[in-house]
Structure 1
Amino acid sequence: MIMRVMGEGQFEVGETHLNRLNELDDELLTALESGDEEHFRRALVELLGAVKTFGTPLPDDSLEPSDLILPDVEATIDQVRELLRAEGDGLIPGIPE
């Protein structure tokens, strides 16, 4: 799965890591619902860090379409809420059963 982190490029992340990314996404949703800025910031940094850790960066000149677009680390709670409205159920999709 190719994930674009706004302002940082694309990362190819294997499906084996999607469960962990979903856990981090759930934590981000919890932080958004609580409105706790510190919790939100921590959760966003952890999610984006995991994408970069588990993912392989694609070259800047790559023309691969992104499966997901994630906010940058500086995104506000309101900006991420807007993304979630557009995406639906979190930023990272669940694995089909």
Structure 2
Amino acid sequence: MIIRIMGEGQYRASEALCDELNQIDNRIVALVAEGKTEEYRAELTKLISEIKERGEAVEAEEILESDIIVPPEDLSLEEAKDVFSGSGIFED
């Protein structure tokens, strides 16, 4: 799966990593719904860190369509309400 972090590039992620990212995504959805800003920001930072650390960076010269687009770390809670709702950005 190809994941794009807005403003930071693309990463290849294994199915196992995507399963773990989906769990973080589900927590983010719940935290956003509850209006827990600090906890939401911590989980979004964790999501992005996991992608960067465990995913394989795609070279800038390689043009690939992204399967999932992850917003930047500075996404506000209000903006997150539009992104992290329902099943979130990772489909169950």
TM over 0.5: yes
**TM-score for both structures, normalised by structure 1:** 0.86
Of the three residues 74, 80, 93, the one matched with 2:91 is 93
CA deviation string 1:35-73 (max 9, x = no partner)? 011011101101111111221010112210000111011
Q: Which sections of structure 2, spanning at least 5 residues, go unmatched? A: none
Aligned residue runs from structure 1 range 55-70, under 5 A: 55-70=55-70
In structure 1, distance between residues paired with 2:36 and 2:16? 30
- Cα distance, 1:33 vs. partner? 1.1
Q: What is the CA-CA distance between 1:30 and the residue it aligns to?
A: 1.5
User: For residue 62 of structure 2, what is the amino acid of its counterpart?
Assistant: S
Q: Percent identity?
A: 27
| 2:22 matches 1:32 | no
Equivalenced residues, count: 92
Q: Runs of 5+ in structure 1 lacking a partner?
A: none
Give the alignment's Cα RMSD to 1 decimal. Answer: 1.3
Equivalent residue number for residue 22 of structure 1: 22
1:83 CA displacement: 2.2
1:53 aligns to what?
53
SS at match of 1:50: helix
Runs of 4+ in 1 over 4 A off after TM superposition: none
